[in-house]
């Protein structure tokens, strides 16, 4: 019998904390709603757009701007929690709310640890952007 999946909360929090630091390096220091930062990495263009700013949180859309991307990046909404200094992917593509764990198999074929995988992917992608990206004028 297969053991049930348990969320590695400590591991997930480490990913959230590093993603917060990386996102803060890419977005404006004191952002306003609608503010956009654009970057070019290799042949890929992407944008970070501030969608919501509250006292303790900032919601940012992360998306690729290329017309036909070779390596498509999923569109993600990332919420930064400034008091806790963490950032988490709260929505991605057709997932309006990413759950901590999913039963498997399921009708949408989500992985058991989909939330962890999305946040880990965001972290790896942000590292790639910070190492190889350059800023450019926003694309609308």
Q: What is the full per-residue pLDDT of the chain (140 aa) written as tens digits? A: 666 666 677 988 999 999 999 999 999 888 999 999 888 887 788 889 999 999 999 999 998 887 666 666 778 999 999 999 999 998 877 665 665 555 556 566 555 677 888 899 899 989 988 888 877 666 65
Please report the pLDDT score of residue 114 as a whole number.
74
Radius of gyration of the chain (CA): 16
Measure the CA–CA gap between 33 and 21, rounded to whole angstroms.
20
DSSP letter, residue 46: E
**CA pair distance 33, 39, nearest whole angstrom:** 18
pTM of the model: 0.81
The reported pLDDT for the residue numbered 92 is 79
Q: Are 39 and 131 in contact (CB under 8 A)?
A: no
For 22, list phi and psi in degrees, rounded to 5. Answer: -70, -45
């Amino acid at each position: 019998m297969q053991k049930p999946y348990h969320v590695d909360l400590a591991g997930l929090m480490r990913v959230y904390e590093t993603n917060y630091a990386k996102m803060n390096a890419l977005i404006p220091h004191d952002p306003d709603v609608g503010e956009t930062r654009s970057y070019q990495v290799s042949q890929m263009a992407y944008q970070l757009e501030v969608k919501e700013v509250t006292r303790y949180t900032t919601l940012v859309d992360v998306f690729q701007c290329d017309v036909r991307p070779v390596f498509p990046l999923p569109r993600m909404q990332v919420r930064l929690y400034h008091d806790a200094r963490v950032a988490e992917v709260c929505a991605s593509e057709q997932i309006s709310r990413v759950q901590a764990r999913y039963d498997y198999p399921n009708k949408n074929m989500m992985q058991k640890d989909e939330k962890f995988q999305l946040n880990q992917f965001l972290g790896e992608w942000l590292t790639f952007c910070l190492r190889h990206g350059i800023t450019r004028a926003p694309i609308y």
